[in-house]
């Protein structure tokens, strides 16, 4: 796996920055607020975690009944209703590039999803491209509706796609997460992933540099 600069600049989220900062401070604490402030200034990083696929994936049953399947192009409207912040053109581009989206439905409604890429993937948050080595896959843009969190749906979704990836002959799965996202990080670690590196970007004006380093010990 390697990191390289993207060919075009990222499109960053818009909105009321002061309001987002206040919500972060109230809901996630000073540490998260500090790093999100640094992200706005020009310092951003993601924690990489990986998991080998050379072991049996345990069965997991959520506490709510869900149906898990690969998203088809014809179901894209359902996905956009689930993730209204995603542009249709971006979702279509992902599918055209051979990426796969697995979704979990409850009573016919999409309540959780994640994307899987086996080819180089552009991380807009860092304005870079993450290259995949043969046999590697990257799982990204994982999201579950707040009202459905805490019911094991995320674990059920993970079990499903890990088994699919094993059958396809892949050997290693990588995910990238904000280190301050404590709930997501805790969930990923419970799923058997272990930190394998940190990737990031420092940007000042039009100058920027990407970096990769070892994960923190402990």
Q: Higher confidence at residue 41 or residue 184?
A: 184
pTM confidence score: 0.76
**For residue 47, pLDDT beyond 70:** yes
Q: How many CB atoms lie within 10 A of CB 166?
A: 16
Domain 2-213 - what CATH class?
alpha beta
DSSP reduced 3-state for 17: helix
Q: What is the pLDDT of residue 108?
A: 94
Residues 6+ apart with CB under 8 A from 120: 129, 130, 131, 132
Kindly report, residue by residue over 136-170, the tens digit of the pLDDT. Answer: 999 988 899 999 988 989 889 989 989 999 999 99
CB 30 within 8 A of CB 21: no
The string of DSSP codes covering 61-113 is: --SS--EEEEPPGGGHHHHHHH-TTS-HHHHHHHHHTT-EEEEEEETTEEEEE
Domain spans in the chain, listed from the N-terminal domain onward: 2-213
Q: Tell me how far apart the alpha carbons of residues 18 and 174 are, in angstroms, rounded to a whole number.
A: 33
Confidence of residue 26 (pLDDT cuts 50, 70, 90): low
Q: What is the pLDDT of residue 37?
A: 54
Q: What is the pLDDT of residue 172?
A: 95
């Amino acid at each position: 796996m390697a990191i390289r600069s993207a060919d075009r600049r990222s499109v960053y989220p818009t909105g009321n920055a002061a309001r987002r900062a206040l919500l972060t401070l109230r809901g996630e604490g000073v540490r998260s607020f500090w790093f999100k402030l640094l992200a706005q200034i020009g310092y951003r990083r993601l924690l990489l975690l990986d998991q080998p696929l050379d072991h049996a994936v345990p069965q997991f049953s959520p506490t709510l009944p869900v149906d898990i399947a690969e998203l088809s192009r014809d179901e894209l409207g359902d996905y956009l209703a689930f993730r209204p912040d995603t542009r249709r053109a971006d979702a279509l581009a992902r599918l055209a590039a051979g990426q796969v989206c697995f979704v979990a439905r409850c009573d016919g409604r999409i309540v959780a999803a994640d994307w899987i890429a086996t080819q180089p993937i552009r991380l807009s948050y860092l304005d870079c491209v993450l290259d995949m080595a043969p046999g590697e896959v990257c799982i990204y843009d994982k999201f579950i509706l707040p009202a459905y969190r805490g019911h094991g749906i995320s674990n059920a979704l993970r079990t499903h796609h890990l088994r699919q990836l094993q059958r396809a002959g892949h050997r290693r799965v990588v995910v990238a997460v904000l280190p301050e996202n404590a709930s997501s990080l805790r969930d990923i670690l419970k799923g058997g992933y272990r930190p394998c590196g940190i990737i990031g970007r420092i940007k000042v004006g039009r100058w920027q540099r990407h970096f990769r380093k070892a994960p923190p010990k402990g």
